[in-house]
Structure 1
Amino acid sequence: MTETAGYRRRVVDLELRERLTSIGAVLIEGPKACGKTATATQVAATMHRLDVDQAARNTATYAPDVLLDSPGPVLLDEWQRAPALWDHVRRAVDDRSPEKGLFIMTGSATPRDDVNRHSGAGRIAVVQMRPMSLWESGHSSGTASLASLMDGGRVAGRDSGPSLPDIIDRICIGGWPALLDATATEAGRWLRDYLNQIVLVDIQELGTRRRDPQNIRRLLTSLARNVATSARVTALAKDVGGADGPVARATVDGYLDSLHRLRLIENSSAWGPHMRSATPLQASPTRYFIDPSLAVAALGQGPQQLLRDLNATGYLFENLAVRDMRVYAQRLGGEVHHWRDQNQNEVDIVVTLPDGRWGAFEVKMNPEDADKAAASLLSFSEKVDQAKAGAPVALGVITTTGFAYRRDDGVSVLPIGAMGP
């Protein structure tokens, strides 16, 4: 279980090791090419690559015990290519109880629920993996730790020195391990090929009914245009249908389900604290891609276009910030939500922890907007019934460049190039 030379450490590494000491099997889920296999091989003793090894798939079907009896932890890479393995792994964990850390499963697509398949509760833990955060890819100093913020600590430090064009490059390139040293132009070609593969192959493999590739492409473009908003399915249906009129809601729901199962989109659900105000909350999710580079590729854009339209780029920057906060919050067992009322008062990111602590963060590309964002956060925190939800342990404005520091009003200014777990 020695780390491979050249392996770039991930925030999820420690979580994976911890889970393997407490349960029989761990499933790592995430989009293709986010680094699941590389991370799993750091701790696996045996690997079976079911996506490329036909012999392994045949063995999984006719003699699964041959695979499962290998020295452990046994990595079953892209396990969904042999779905029957799920129940075999569950049974093997039961049979070998109380042994821990027997199997690691990775998957870039979630099979449809099967009533005959056991949930795996108590036997198989699920770990979510995303493309690299800026801290993981080496583009953030990490001096502003989310863990410290959520402990009520005072963060201070410089970012890693990126300019606004550098941040825009990271939005376009994304956190894909294969693109760490790529230019934005090279990344754009790779990402367009990636989405083309998703549209023509991966989505088609998820079910027996063929999905219209042009409709899926239009949906991806619509989602990219509406990133970081709560666009309704009816609006997406109009974009997908185009001149022929909106497609059926059920059709769009099916496409969205496919993209979710491939881990390409990850919405933020609405946070529902106890509120003094009687104003009803808007419960629609905020729509994000798992990585902002997918939105850029779906739009067919690049750094120059983003620099010329910083208003639109602000939504993509928010997607970048949400991606990184999800990576950092997961290490704490936390979740990322949004808050928005029907008067369109909103908070971009609300981080909640299992012990009830919570923090709220606004995302602003322009550091000069920190005053307005801080006032909005303070106003929001006063609306929360703190006798029931507790006081926020952190309030912060995530921006592009500069120094991390806490203002006199208690709100932290957090350049994204300084943030870390």
Structure 2
Amino acid sequence: MIPRTAETLVRELLSGFPIVTVTGPRQSGKTTLARAVMADRPYRSLEDPDVRALALDDPRGFLSQCPDGAVLDEIQRAPELFSYLQTHVDGDGRMGRFLLTGSQQFGLLSGISQSLAGRSAFVELLPLSHAELVEAGQAPPTLDAMLFTGGYPALYDRPVSPRQWFPAYVTAYVERDVRQLLQVQDLDAFQRFVRLCAGRSGQVLNLSSLAADCGITHNTAKAWISVLEASYVLFLLRPHHANFNKRLIKSPKLYFHDTGLLCWLLGVQTPEQLVVHPLRGQVFETYVISELRKAFLNRGEPPLFHFWRDSNGNEVDLLIEWAGGLMPVEIKSGQTLNRDFFTGLERWTALAGDMARSPTLIYGGEGEHQRKDVRVLGWERVGEVLSG
């Protein structure tokens, strides 16, 4: 097992809550982390039909088998357990009893908010970060190899290539989740929709255009986006609405959580292909924002991220609410610093005034530099944004 930064956070929360719930994409390492943290407790997977049947038919009997607590994996498969868990932990009073995992936000979060409010802390575990891979000595050697492979743990603990693993992953998990949540009949249309979303990662989301290109209705596209969000395939970045006397873009931008999955959906077959790929800049932007989300979530802090773009095309890729202000982050995939890289940051900083904190440029090169008032970080040092 590659050590996870979030393990420290999980252990801290278990000392103050009777239940900790770890959410995130399927195959992101939730089960491995949970079993490592609670190695001395029983493990029950609600994906197992026999285990699930027992939990649903006799929930009190099921929980009585775990007097000191347990790991309950994929808990959203038995949402009826939540009310019984509430009674169980309230009557006991001990902290750190149960560690729950789940991969779908719909049933999981609604069930916990109704029955376990105040009793469960939440940790979002995304695929491996570059920093975690470096620490384990398993980081891909180049930026393009990192973008192509992504961070799913299976690609680092078994001899399987991204081209072999991602097709099975999408079929076994993503499409199955869609069937469970929406009963989608036309999987061909859904597969086309996901690939069209991949081509728009890093772009402002236009649902009408996306629906038209896929041959589905606007409402269907909206529902499918919601399912892909709930299954941790993609996320939406909302615009920042501070009034700088400009008309601002109101639609969110779309990003994938993992660039390995993104590259597979784009049809990229080797890291070398990425060097000249027309969407390389968008893939790199996706990587940086995803890495920064991991850095925040692994510390137990909500990633209060936005982007800024006005109607004249002026923009900053990322605004982070930080230290009582906003940290602007510009993202460029080029390896050579260019004067144009700084234009958006300079324009936004002039408009923002005292709101601006530590303007930062992250690019496809190496090292750390200071250029006037802008901190410049190479792609391997994305996590150092938090030290600004």
| Shared fold (TM-score, shorter chain, > 0.5) | yes
Partner Cα separation in structure 2 for residue 270 and residue 400 of structure 1: 24
Runs of 5+ consecutive residues of structure 2 not aligned to the other structure: none
Q: CA deviation at 1:56?
A: 2.0
Amino acid at match of 1:297: W
Q: Report the Cα distance in structure 1 between the residues aligned to 2:200 and 2:381, rounded to whole angstroms.
A: 27
**CA deviation after TM superposition for structure 1 residue 197, in Å:** 2.5
Cα gap change, 1:206 to 1:340, in 2 (>3 Å): same
Give the fraction of aligned pairs with identical amino acids, expressed as a percent: 27
Which string of whole-angstrom CA distances, capped at 9 and with x for unpartnered residues, describes residues 5-64 of structure 1?
xx3222222221222222221111111111011111122132433244333212211232
Indicate the residue corresponding to 2:345 in structure 1.
377
1:75 Cα deviation after fit: 1.0
Does residue 249 (structure 1) correspond to residue 212 (structure 2)? The answer is no
The counterpart of 2:53, out of the listed 58, 72, 79, is: 58
> Is 1:134 the counterpart of 2:130 in the alignment?
yes
- Per the normalisation by structure 2, the TM-score is 0.89
Assess, with a 3 A threshold, how the Cα gap between structure 1 residues 271 and 119 changes in structure 2: closer, same or farther: farther
1:206 aligns with 2:173: no
User: Which residue is equivalent to 1:32?
Assistant: 26
Aligned pairs (5 A) from 1:12-411? 12-44=6-38, 45-69=40-64, 70=66, 72-97=68-93, 99-112=94-107, 118=114, 120-138=116-134, 162=141, 166-180=142-156, 186-198=161-173, 200-207=175-182, 209-241=183-215, 247-273=216-242, 275=243, 277-302=244-269, 303-309=271-277, 311-330=278-297, 331=299, 333-335=301-303, 336-353=305-322, 356-384=324-352, 386=354, 390-392=355-357, 394-407=358-371, 409-411=372-374
In 1, the alpha carbon distance for the partners of 2:126 and 2:59 equals 29
- Structure 1, unaligned stretches of length 5 or more? 1-6, 142-159, 242-246
Instruction: Calculate the TM-score normalised by the size of structure 1.
Output: 0.82
Q: Does 1:419 align with 2:382?
A: yes
Distance in 2 (alpha carbons) for counterparts of 1:199 and 1:329: 25
Give the Cα–Cα distance (whole angstroms) in 2 for the partners of residues 305 and 37 of structure 1. Answer: 34
With over 3 angstroms needed to count, the CA separation of the structure-2 counterparts of 1:132 and 1:377, relative to structure 1, is same
Displacement of 1:106 in angstroms is 0.4
Residues of 2 paired with 1:308 and 1:260: CA distance? 29
CA contact (8 A) 1:365 1:400 kept: yes
Distance apart, 1:117 and its partner CA: 7.2
**1:73 to 1:12, Cα distance in 2 relative to 1, 3 A:** farther
Contact residue 72 and residue 101 of structure 1 kept, 8 A: no
Point out which structure has higher relative CO (alpha carbons under 8 A, 6+ apart): 1
Amino acid in the other structure paired with 2:100: M
Amino acid at match of 1:95: G
Q: Paired residues, what number?
A: 377
Name the aligned partner's letter for residue 401 of structure 1: G
* Kept after mapping to 1: 8 A contact 2:309/2:315: yes
Q: Which moved more, 1:110-119 or 1:279-288?
A: 110-119
Give CA-to-partner distance per residue, 1:379-400, whole Å, 9 cap, x none.
21221252xxx341x2211112
Q: CA deviation at 1:119?
A: 5.4
C-alpha separation in 2, matches of 1:129 and 1:11: 10
